[in-house]
Chain A
Amino acid sequence: MNDRIPGFGTLAVHAGAQPDPTTGARATPIYQTTSFVFNDADHAASLFGLQSFGNIYTRITNPTTAVLEERVAALEGGTAALAVASGHAAQLVAFQQLLQPGDEFIASRKLYGGSINQFSHAFRSFGWNVVWADPDDIPSFERAVTNKTKAIFIESIANPAGSITDIEAVAAVARKAGVPLIVDNTLATPYLIKPIDHGADIVVHSLTKFLGGHGNSLGGIIVDAGTFDWSKDGKYPVLSEPRPEYHGIKLQETFGNFAFAIACRVLGLRDLGPALSPFNAFLIQTGIETLPLRMQRHSDNAKAVAEWLSAHPKVAAVNYSGLSDNRYHALARKYAPKGAGAVFTFSLKGGYDAGVNLVSNLKLFSHLANVGDTRSLVIHPASTTHSQLDDEAKTRSGAGPDVVRLSVGIEDKEDLIADLEQALNA
């Protein structure tokens, strides 16, 4: 009776994109325009009043970007999505719909350093107060819940150490507290982990990483799972109460199970303004077409490199959940059975200096502050991405002074291992 549900590879190529009705163009055209003409005054009014589907201005909607949005929503199993200028912008826009000044949210301590900074400083300046919890100690999330808690935030695979969060256990805490669970799924991508299947209500991404995949475009996205009832207890007035800027429309009543994505678009993106360029949307969606192929190769290469490193006499430890002796291996097998991703850390017996030497002697791995490129990347988090954290916070988030982070690319793994070997021996 129900329609056949296509597989992940089919959705990665097709979801959101169809031949252009006027020209027949098969690739999605780049609608590089700021604005769209109205049919007449009535059409304009109904678009501004959220009463019709259509385009006004590229800060709010754009037909190229919309293809990217539907594609990621389909891959994550969400009802709708909103693409924005960066992963940081995705977090800003998502949280702005949920928190009022004085409210709190609970976040995992093990996060990308940039998120720790955003939550600790920028968000605090808005009166959105982060309370940290330890993903290796689930009861610490429960203990952090107060009557001001409005959301819980975790990473599925945490940056930089590649540890795996027990999403279902944190989702249970969120459900009990009556707040949505937000999962940053950047390092896993929906190919490896679909957080919505495990209880996430909102998924955010930096599209800049594996989804775009080629290290050429910044972008971020918010996916609405369509699972949270925003109107049950008045805690989320942005979604449940009449909106004065739209003549009293109630967003959840009007848009049902994709109301959160609409709120992010017509309130957050409209008023804060971090819109994605249509050209970036085009490059990112082209990248997504090969996501399943790339992600499998990234993960397979990472496992081979991690196994080789862990047998090397100069290596003190390798933190990759794809290795059977890793403390997160059981979680990796449960949540990411196809592979544990491409980002992990290791430490050298020679400490900080050996790490610095390794980075400077590598010839194929690029030393830079990104992950999720086709190219293999290396960085020393303590002196770069996590440098603004104090030493204790560095170690807690997996970025101690002796730690080197790799993002393993899709090159031939023998060449990557040879590069590491010559750099370790140099």
Chain B
Amino acid sequence: MNHDSYNDAYIREILNTVKTVAMVGASPQNVRPSYFVFKYLAERGYDMIPINPGQVGKSLLNKPFVASLQEIGRPIDMVDIFRSAEHVMSIVDIILTLNPLPKVAWMQLGVRHDEAAARLEAAGIKVVMNRCPKIEYGRLSSEIQWMGVNSRTLSSKRAPIPTQGMRLSLNRSSVGGGSTAAADRVAQQNNKDKNDTA
């Protein structure tokens, strides 16, 4: 599948159906994105599992750190890969040994690895690359609009009132909104440049 852009229905379906999410590279430092994305998703009801071999014995927001994906000991729906591209292939090797396989492998903003994606997709795993689940959740719920961000969605429907201080539920009805074609073109060019030099 084309990983240069994703339609909203694809991302929304993933965020609406996954429950258990293992985050590889979760950080205990509260200024790191891999801390506050973990926290944001936990606050929105996802069953979050922090994976970081250097932190075993400690907890992240009352969830004990686990050394590796293989040591979770229960099925997971999604792996959120918070590591740079050079570590992705070895993580994919581990993902493909899991039984049952996760439904989704998600690589964070700035991380793209087309060869890894092809292997995951061949095993029936959905792939998202170079996106942040916090930003996508905030965008599709339109919560991110509070920060003046173009959510690229429009809606004439009153959204369900959510819980826990969120603005709107993810289950809001919307159509596509204002495009960000120039930024998308730059992102594609950067990916192409990275692949050409790799």
Contact = CB atoms under 8 A, between A and B. Distances in A.
Interface of A: 1-6, 10-11, 14-16, 18-22, 24, 39, 43, 46, 49, 51-55, 61, 63, 65-67, 69-70, 73-75, 77-83, 196-197, 225-227, 229, 246-249, 253-254, 256-258, 261-262, 265
Given A2-B5, A54-B165, A247-B31, A77 B149 contact: no
13 contacts: A3-B8, A15-B150, A19-B155, A19-B156, A19-B159, A21-B168, A53-B138, A55-B146, A70-B151, A78-B180, A79-B180, A197-B182, A227-B183
B157 interface: yes
B109 A256 contact: yes
Residue from A53, A54, A67 having most chain B Cβ neighbours under 10 A: A53
A2 to B, nearest CB: 5
Contact of A226 (B31, B161, B183): B183
Contact of B145 (A16, A77, A257): A16
B183 A61 contact: no
A287 to B, nearest CB: 18
B142 interface: yes
B150 A80 contact: yes
Contacts of B110: 253, 256
B146 A53 contact: yes
A246 B31 contact: yes
B176 A74 contact: no
Given A256-B109, A256-B132, A74 B150 contact: yes
Given A54-B165, A83-B148, 4 more contacts: A5-B176, A21-B168, A253-B33, A257-B183
Contacts of B85: none
Interface string B133-155: 00100100011111111111011
B150 A79 contact: yes
B179 interface: yes
Residue from A5, A18, A49 having most chain B Cβ neighbours under 10 A: A18
A75 B161 CA distance: 28
A46 to B, nearest CB: 7
Contacts of B109: 256
B2 A75 contact: no
A10 B156 CA distance: 12
Contacts of A69: 145, 148
**Closest CB pairs A-B (n = 8):** A74-B178, A3-B176, A226-B183, A69-B148, A51-B36, A73-B150, A19-B158, A39-B165
